[in-house]
Structure 1
Amino acid sequence: MTPTEPAPGEHTLRRPELRPLWHTVHNRLSSGRPVTRVRLGPLDEVQREALADLLGLDRLPDARPSVSLVRLEEAVTELCGRTVRETVTELVGPLEDRAGERRRKEEQRAELWTWLDGHATVRAQPALADWTESCRAAGLVGGSTARTRSLLTDALTVLAALPSQAEPLPVFAARVLKGESHALDDGTRLSTLVLRALATLHDTAPPQSSADRRALWTRAGVADDDLSATVLVGGLRPAGDGPLARVARVCAETGQAASLTLAQLRAPGEFTLAADSAPVVHAVENPSILALAVRRFGPDCPPLVCTSGWPNSAAIHLLRLLAAQGATLRYHGDFDGEGIRIAAYLLDKTAARPWRMTAADYRAAVARTAHGPRSGRLTEAPWDHELTRAMTDHGTAVVEELVADVLLADLAEAMR
């Protein structure tokens, strides 16, 4: 037999009447599961005769026969010396492993969701856990873990870069997403994903209209102008002779609060601390606390920053400037669901650390105040995992104003 001649019995195996057999066997073996028998049919009379000849049967099989793989293996080996697997691979094509492929895809999906749950941005802002759950419920983009991971990576990159530096949306997108200026255009999959995350953080319904979407972007500092974004400060005495330094110092020296714009804070060289000064700067959530501090301490008010609720781009920029110049940052906010989310957000975006924001502080505040409003939707406090449990047990919010005396006492102590 020359190399080009078919093996003995090859013509028998290649009979057109046996194609249904080989395709069925190929399909079953490609399942990746153990196979002992294959069900064929319906077969016509010629196909039944061909199957009987192959298996050496003394009568025609049924129109829908069940063929033993052991018997088929014996017949094929006797005819050509090959296995059934080798034969169907030659006649039909390479075998698959659909069960193994399903396992691999399940493992890839599980790894993807584990990666998302453990991402630094999600861990730092536990309120995003509801968003990650919605991503899981939505499933894979186009059935692909790679495409889904790429999209989620971009979304997390955007979330980590917020609040924006008061840029238009295309400018922000180009800066954060390597030149992709249209990546966050209205209606894109990425834009929808990021806005869902922002809605989750702010505990609002996903935006349904273009106005709702613009409002969320503006809240995140995107498309906001650098004059509208302002931050309240008290007792802050930056060095230098620029307009910002002079305004802040005059206000501090006369016992007044100052409202600084993002434009002033971003002016090159405008904001510096004295070379020998590395102050502790306290930040609060509510303007009433800053007003009480300025009223009590006057020109001696220690450095104080107010975020006025969710910190905007001006507040974040100022706190980062302070930290970059050696200041130690401490933050206090409301003990309610939103207050915990605001604190987690600010602690993630800046070098600030909690100030009287532990479970023990909350319990002490509850013990000395009347029964307050409900806490609202609670999420984990990354800096103290016991805090949310304590707030859940009591079910009571403690707004910052109710502990103002404790905070002012801390500020007075810091002045000594």
Structure 2
Amino acid sequence: MTPRDHPVPGGTTPPGHLASGEATLRRPELHPLWHTVHGRLSSGRPVTRVRLGPLDETQREALADLLGLDRLPDPRPSVTLARLEEAVTELSGRTVREVAAELIGPLGDRAGERRRQEDERAGLWTWLAAHDTVRAQPVLADWAASCRAAGLVGGSAERTRTLLTDALKVLAELPGQAEPLPVFAARVLNGHTHALDDGTPLSTLVLRALAALYDTAPPQSAEERRALWTRAGVADDELSATVIVGGLRLAGDGLIARVARLCTEAGQAVSLTLAHVRNPGEITLPAAPVPPVVHVVENPSILALALRRFGPDCPPLVCTSGWPNSAAIQLLRLLVDRGAALRYHGDFDGEGIRIAAYVLDKTRAHPWRMTAADYRAAVVCDARGPHPGRITEAPWDPELAEAMAEHGTAVVEELVAEVLLEDLAATARSECSPSPGRL
């Protein structure tokens, strides 16, 4: 007689009362059954049968007793859940799930957990792509995509979101205020002085974003990393960061007001340092026109042309000299806080659009002749410009990037200087005659 034909000792009569039924379910020889059933039920998927084994003879006998078999099952038997459910209910009045949970532990739902994690990951990347900082500066969409490609930090969506939240908080505070990196980190990140130390995950993440913003390769050396932080206004000094201004008449006895008035009356530009801007003293803007308008340009040559044409009557004009440093951003914010309305113009090329998006995001400026229609009009006048380079979306006009890609040519600010000067002349004509308190 083979083991499969061996009769089960004790027959197949079920236990006569609940206590003996519970004892049968708790037999040590049935532990492999309950562990396997627990694992399958915790999968979160439908279960109709479970495969056991290899079982030794005592375990096969215990399984035969449980199921009421008249012979030993195979060493690797397949047990239907319906048959097991029938036997368990008869012995204990409970379900297989209840018994498995009591003997092994709470049942899981691995399929549900995987779906939850997938939804959590998808929600994380959707949140990042739609974040205000990323939408305001579309070039950061490339950085967001690289973050997604890199995957979760430590496999945790929660940890990744926390790190990205801190990175976005840092990016929103840039350019810095000429603070050392630890001081900047402490101010922005709730006292965490070393959060942006060289080599930390957060520092690496922010520097990758800055590289995308400035369209440069990610820094590889400590020197390159320091240079990128400096470009972003962190660890910059108060004297090296400057901004050029013309036509700025401010009321008040503060240093900026007095220096700017003197230079404006002489028909000259003034170079203000970050130290000047951070300690402006008393300054006010006029009540009319409401609000006073300050035009902002990217290139110093436009400011020079304006001063040459208008002299002491030049309307207020600020030049960022390419990517605005901390002095430029702080001055523009100061003027907005005093009631000015900013109008920004820059180059029609890939970097110019990124600079414009940056200025608009950081200062609440509005675009000035920076639409797709303005670009097309300029291209018609001069269609032989250089290639615009990498083009990113312009948040203020979705058609602008399409138009630049279609024509494939850049239009530098100097080529539309005459149009800009006519706008400034119209501004000058609309104002009243100069008075001591006029901007």
Give the % identical residues: 79
Q: Specify the alignment match of 1:251 in structure 2.
A: 263
Counterpart check, 1:15 vs 2:61: no
User: Which range moves more in the overlay, 68-77 or 10-19?
Assistant: 10-19
* TM-score normalized by the length of structure 2: 0.91
Counterpart check, 1:181 vs 2:187: no
Pairing partner for 1:241 from 222, 228, 253: 253
Pairing partner for 1:93 from 105, 109, 113: 105
**1:262-299 CA distances to partner (integer Å, 9 max, x unpaired)?**
11112152543345565211100011111111111111
Equivalences for residues 264-413 of structure 1 within 5 A: 264-274=276-286, 278-413=291-426
**1:146-189 CA distances to partner (integer Å, 9 max, x unpaired)?**
21111111111111111111111111111111111111111111
Amino acid at match of 1:11: A
Q: Specify the alignment match of 2:95 in structure 1.
A: 83
Counterpart check, 1:132 vs 2:144: yes
- Across the aligned residues of Structure 1 and Structure 2, the Cα RMSD in angstroms comes to 1.5
Pairing partner for 1:61 from 73, 82, 92: 73
Contact 1:332 1:357 in 2 (8 A): yes
Counterpart check, 1:415 vs 2:392: no
Contact 2:254 2:280 in 1 (8 A): no
1:55 Cα deviation from its structure 2 partner: 1.3
Contact 1:265 1:271 in 2 (8 A): no
1:7 is paired with a residue whose SS is: helix
- Structure 2 distance, partners of 1:314, 1:215, is 17
2:19 is paired with a residue whose SS is: coil
Contact 2:253 2:281 in 1 (8 A): no
Amino acid at match of 1:294: L
**1:17-68 CA distances to partner (integer Å, 9 max, x unpaired)?**
1111110000000001000011111112222222122112222222211110
**1:108-139 CA distances to partner (integer Å, 9 max, x unpaired)?**
11221121111111111111101111111122
1:93 is paired with a residue whose SS is: coil
- Structure 2 distance, partners of 1:119, 1:229, is 30
Counterpart check, 1:227 vs 2:239: yes
1:16 Cα deviation from its structure 2 partner: 1.5
Equivalences for residues 182-197 of structure 1 within 5 A: 182-197=194-209
Contact 1:238 1:271 in 2 (8 A): yes
- Structure 2 distance, partners of 1:404, 1:331, is 13
**1:340-394 CA distances to partner (integer Å, 9 max, x unpaired)?**
1110110000021000000000111111103211111111111011111111111
- Structure 1 distance, partners of 2:282, 2:306, is 25
Counterpart check, 1:162 vs 2:174: yes
- Structure 2 distance, partners of 1:289, 1:282, is 11
- Structure 1 distance, partners of 2:354, 2:277, is 26
- Structure 2 distance, partners of 1:16, 1:370, is 87
Amino acid at match of 2:325: N
1:212 Cα deviation from its structure 2 partner: 0.8
Q: Specify the alignment match of 2:216 in structure 1.
A: 204
Q: Specify the alignment match of 1:104 in structure 2.
A: 116
1:143 Cα deviation from its structure 2 partner: 1.9
- Structure 1 distance, partners of 2:169, 2:103, is 50
1:9 is paired with a residue whose SS is: helix
Counterpart check, 1:146 vs 2:158: yes
Q: Which runs of 5+ in 1 are unaligned?
A: none
Contact 2:179 2:234 in 1 (8 A): yes
Contact 2:243 2:273 in 1 (8 A): yes
Contact 1:264 1:270 in 2 (8 A): no
- Structure 2 distance, partners of 1:18, 1:275, is 88
Q: Which runs of 5+ in 2 are unaligned?
A: 1-16, 430-439
